[in-house]
Amino acid sequence: MQSQYIHQRRKKAIEGFGNGPINAFVHAMESAGLKDYKVTDYRSHAVRGGSDASAASYVQIQHEDGRLLWGTGVDPSIEMAGLKALVTAWNLLR
């Protein structure tokens, strides 16, 4: 997986591999020195019925100092909903 983030007004690229999008993104963050947490829980479900339903995902992370934080994400793609949830939780650590 390839991704970009902005730090101090500079766009930076990261890349990681894993057995799924969240795992790959976590490894990308780790290789960039941005990982100071571990994923402790992940859940997702459809927001409503039907083939065009969006997914809601929830990711819990635990910071190195012991804090537990939840992030949420909603997207038509279940993979993107999970990534949005992870980024939301990570941003709460900042």
In this predicted model, what pLDDT tens digit does every residue of 5-53 receive, in sequence order? 887 899 999 999 999 999 999 999 999 999 999 999 999 999 988 888 9
What's the CATH fold of domain 36-94? Double Stranded RNA Binding Domain (3.30.160)
Q: Is the dihedral of CA 77, 79, 82, 88 positive or negative?
A: negative
- pLDDT(87) > 80: yes
Residue 92 pLDDT greater than 80, yes or no? yes
| Domain map (residue ranges) of the chain | 1-35, 36-94
Listed residue (82, 83, 44, 88) closest to 69, CA to CA: 88
The structure's pTM equals 0.89
**Per-residue model confidence (pLDDT) at position 91:** 94
Q: What is the pLDDT of residue 1?
A: 87
pLDDT at 71 exceeding the cut of 90:
yes
pLDDT given at position 85 = 98
